[in-house]
Amino acid sequence: MQTPKTGADVETAVREFIAENYLFGAGPESISDTDSFLAQGIINSMGVLELITFLENTYDIKVGDDEVVPDNLDSVRQVAAYVRRKLGSPGNNGTGSGHAG
Amino acid sequence: MRVEKLLEASAARHPDKVALVTDEARVTYAELNATADRLAGALRRRGVGRGDRVVVMLDNSVETVATLFATLKAGAVFSVMNPTTKGEKLAYVLNNCRAAAVVTQERLLPVVAGAVAQAPSVGATVVAGSAAEPAVRGGVGLHAALDEAPAAPAAPVGGEGIDQDLAMVIYTSGSTGSPKGVMMAHSNILCATRSVAQYLELTPDDVLLCVLPLSFGYGLNQIFTSCLVGGTVVLEKSFAYPAATLQKFERERVTGFALVPTIAAILLMRNLTPGQFPNLRYITNAAAALPPAHIARLREVFPSTRLYSMYGQTECTRTLFLPPDQLDVRPGSIGKAIPNTEAWIVDETGRRVGPGEVGELVVRGGHVMRGYWENPEATERALRPGPTPGERVLHSGDLFRADDEGFLYFVSRKDDIIKTRGEKVSPKEVENVLYDLPGVREAAVIGVPDPILGQAIRAVVVLAEDGCLTDRQIIAHCGRHLEDFMVPRSVEFRAELPKTDSGKIRRTEVQAEALRALEAAAPA
């Protein structure tokens, strides 16, 4: 298993994940930090599940049931802030050691 | 009676009752009806008349529902498209039904404008969320169109319609790869709507939560049954954020929830407390069977909620339901015919078969479609002479068997249509897209078991000698040309595919090989 990434550049990692899996041609630069994944039709409900799996595997965090809300997951900026909170929070079960950016 | 009367009657009976709740708005029956009246006027001003087709491609929203009723009030026929439909297919549909108008939204304009450019019949394109004049033939913002329209309903161009007129044409996957337009008259829709409302015992106190797209007959049925009884629909754009949707169960006191197996699977991934949703009177499942483990788990989490297993298809909306009290007795059954319809099983020669024998399900009732739009061959295969003179019954294409008490059990499709995420996918339609990709020499598209999707789409591909495509490139190509649910989830590369003597790829053999490989790999 790969070493968990830190929270240093979550934006780039998320943008690349979305571009590779859902944009079908447009590059990562075509998503702005605040584009709504759902309202812009970038990902659908299966995509949200896959994004969660990607975050859990990449950052070694556990996304709780009640954390699956648009405020945490619906844009590059929201995902980055959420991941940094998880990595920085002492309650996180994972071994992620990134620092809040 | 016509379908728009459902809305008009509820608006007259209880104008101030909330008809529709979305993230953006709460609208009463009077408001929804008034918006639909104005929009009908706007469509008429733009040349939409009796019997014309209006293609609707919108996310679930108040505008979508208003557009459906507005189209009917204008005497026209709606066709709802999945919002992830790509340009080529939309252009095919616009040309196939010779649409007079399109109603869409700002976000989808790039796709829609490209398709409209290829469809000369389209005279008006109404765009929700667009302030300026949208750059598309006949383009007008929805609000601008409403502002200039008369508030009072005008008579439809071409005269008042009757219930034998077409109300909708819904495109569904055909085994040839080209989508077929299922034609439903007003009377067909009303027959299904009344039957469903009857067995679900719907009342004006019901609050239905709908996360299904309205391009799906099951989603549309939520709107029509609720309007029939004067209930409320909580309309969600998707089930992507279950926590947010589940909060609405409590806040809106939801009493009815329509799901497909994929939604059940996502729902049951969560930690739910039994008895958490005391208002929820019933759950319905359709589109594909729930796995027995999910039925058991739903019963545990929703102990006071009735669970209805149902079966239907676009061609008649709904055919069967299992009364909830039978679920423990025969959990694998999807029941018997819904009220005011008949269903039976026939063999290849059309003879009715006895209990235990497998045959094709035949459906008889006022809800059976008028046929496929301008496709007499497909219509003749599906609709055949019925027991009374002039009547036609629907040959469903689904194989069933019955038990000794007449309860029906789904066996399989007759053709190779794949059911994924509750949607029907024609392997041929996906294969046609694969063959457009240089480097693909042969392709077979199959369904493989998936815990969430039911079946997941897999592309089995033989590359040309100089082909060097990756699975990501193949999936990306499909993603650019197909609706999201049709895009393969995985790609398998082969050196060759099994073929018949005449050189036709044996898709069923590819499917069987994949299943055997999965079984061999599964832990004992």
Say how many residues make up chain A.
101
- Domain presence at residue B14: no
Residue finishing a domain among B130, B161, B192: B161
Tokens 């009342």 belong to residue: B203
Domain containing residue B456: 418-521
> Are the C-beta atoms of residues B129 and B142 closer than 8 Å to each other?
yes
Q: Do A38 and B480 touch (CB under 8 A)?
A: no
Q: How many residues does chain B have?
A: 524
Does B263 fall in a domain?
no
Residue B29 predicted with pLDDT over 80? yes
Give mean pLDDT, residues B222-232. Answer: 98
Residue A64 near chain B (CB below 8 Å) = no
Write the pLDDT tens digit of every residue in B407-432: 999 998 888 889 998 888 999 999 99
Contacts of B107 in chain A (CB under 8 A): 39-41
Report the pLDDT averaged over residues B459-480: 92
Q: Find the residue in A nearest to B488 (Cα).
A: A21
Cβ neighbours of residue B80 closer than 8 Å, sequence gap 6 or more: B55, B56, B57, B64, B68, B168, B170, B214, B215, B220
B514: left (phi over 0), alpha (psi -120 to 50) or beta: alpha
Using a CB-CB distance cutoff of 8 angstroms, which residues of chain B are in contact with residue A46?
421, 452-453, 484
Specify the number of domains making up chain B.
Answer: 2
pLDDT of residue B47: 93
Report the residue of chain B nearest A73, measured CA to CA: B241
Calculate the dihedral angle through the C-alpha atoms of B446, B449, B454, B456, rounding to the nearest 10 degrees: -40
What is the tens place of the pLDDT at every residue in B325-370? Answer: 999 899 889 999 999 999 999 999 999 999 999 999 999 999 999 9
Q: Chain B closest CA to A70's CA: distance in Å?
A: 7
The rounded distance, in Å, linking the Cα atoms of B127 and B251 is 32
Chain B: closest CA distance from residue A86 (Å): 18
- Whether B500 is in a domain gets the answer yes
Residue by residue, what is the 3-state secondary structure of B210-241?
A: ECCCCCCHHHHHHHHHHHHHCCEEEECCCCCC
Q: Is pLDDT larger for residue A90 or for residue B53?
A: B53
Query: CATH number of the domain that A17 lies in?
Result: 1.10.1200.10
Total tally of structural domains belonging to chain A: 1
Does A40 contact B107 at a Cβ distance shorter than 8 Å? Answer: yes
Q: What is the DSSP string of B273-317?
A: -TTS-TT--EEEE-SSPPPHHHHHHHHHHSTTSEEEEEE--TTTS
Which domain, by its residues, includes A76?
10-88
B235 domain-assigned: no
Contact A66 B244 (CB under 8 A): no
How would you classify residue B299: left for phi > 0, otherwise alpha for psi between -120 and 50, otherwise beta? alpha
User: Is residue A33 assigned to a domain?
Assistant: yes
- Please give the average per-residue pLDDT across B231-247, as a whole number: 93
Measured CA to CA, the distance from residue B443 to residue B424 in angstroms comes to: 19
Residue A99 has pLDDT above 50, yes or no: no
Look at residue A93 and tell me if it is in a domain. no
Average pLDDT, chain B: 94
Residue B389: per-residue pLDDT = 96
| Cβ pair A68:B472 closer than 8 A | no
- For the cut 90, the answer to whether the pLDDT of residue B288 exceeds it is no
Per-residue pLDDT tens digits for B269-280: 888 999 899 999
pTM here is 0.90
Q: Is residue A43 part of a domain?
A: yes
CB atoms within 10 A of CB B296: 13
Residue B223 domain flag: no
Q: Give the pLDDT mean for B285-295.
A: 89
Whether A101 is in a domain gets the answer no
| Nearest alpha-carbon partner for B157 in B45, B50, B53 | B50
Q: B266: which chain A residues are within 8 Å (Cβ-Cβ)?
A: 45, 49
Residues of chain B that touch chain A, judged by Cβ-Cβ distance less than 8 Å: 59, 83-84, 107-108, 237-244, 266, 270-271, 421, 452-453, 472, 476-477, 479-480, 484
- DSSP letters, B346-387, are E-TTS-B--TT--EEEEEEETTS--EETT-HHHHHHHEEE-S
User: For residue B461, is it within any domain?
Assistant: yes
Q: Could you tell me the CATH number of the domain that includes residue B510?
A: 3.30.300.30
Last residue of a domain, one of B161, B181, B198: B161
Order of strands, sheet of B180-185, starting from the edge strand that comes earlier in the sequence? B139-141, B124-128, B101-105, B53-56, B77-80, B166-172, B180-185, B371-372
**Which residues in chain B are closer than 8 Å to A39, comparing Cβ atoms?**
107, 237
42-61 in chain A: CB under 8 A from chain B: 43-49
Query: Do the domain assignments include residue A16?
Result: yes
Q: Is residue A25 part of a domain?
A: yes
> Crossing angle, helix B62-73 and helix B217-229, to 10 degrees?
80
**Least CB-CB distance to A65: which of B238, B270, B472?**
B270
